[in-house]
Amino acid sequence: MRLALGIEYDGTDFCGWQRLSHERSVQAEVEAALTFVAAHPVEVTCAGRTDAGVHARCQVVHFDSDATRSERAWVLGANSRLARDVAVLWARPVADGFHARFGARARRYRYTILNRPVRAALAARFVTWERVPLDVEAMQRAAQALVGEHDFSAFRTVACQANSPMRNVHAIAVARRGDEVAIEIEANAFLHHMVRNIVGSLLPIGRGERAEAWLAELLHGRDRSVAGPTAPASGLAFLAPRYPAEWNLPPEVTL
């Protein structure tokens, strides 16, 4: 039987999603918990790997198991073995053709900036601090240049292993709520550090250091070396992938 899980985690103390032999990873801890519940070795495949320090509201994974367990047993059993910074949200049986990575039609990220004169204490693990007041409207207008299918080489890390720099951004929105500025991006897929590099180039526009047209110039120039710096990982959260309704997954991951 193939199962899909929704998982949330605070990525601060992890080396990232991917299992590594010498550091703490989300994948390794999830697999260890599921192995305990299933009583056999379990390997999971995720919708999108996150980097060190990046969080997830609803990462989706799939795995195969012959163990007879209820959805509730998978959730509660795994959570009983997981540390406090990782939790299984739900479990669903799916058809054998379901694939957490290749079946996703879109992925959504949110980057959160605390925009006030004083740094964060309570929210420090989940935001990036920017003391200079940001012009959110200018950032929103500039960001619309990224919507559509483009070559995103200007926002791609040199370590990116993707075969192509082409990605299709479905929507991007920059909005303020009180002291927080949120940048939400949905695309068919993302390049390595793509969201953090976009944020790093939007911030100079928000601070008034660059014109709104600069983001479009960077996109068309396709030169990473002249774009803004990579924004810190702490502000980034993978909200969820999105799948066709035929898989009968929860609403937050369904198109």
Q: Which residues are catalytic?
A: 51
Q: Residue 136: which of 171, 176, 78 has the closest Cα?
A: 176
Distance CA 209, CA 205 (A): 6
Distance CA 108, CA 93 (A): 23
Instruction: Tell me the pairing of strands 55-64 and 106-114.
Output: unpaired
Distance CA 216, CA 54 (A): 26
Distance CA 54, CA 12 (A): 7
Q: With helix as H, strand as E and coil as C, how does 203-233 read?
A: HHHHCCCCCCCHHHHHHHHCCHHHCCCCCCH
CB 56 within 8 A of CB 8: yes
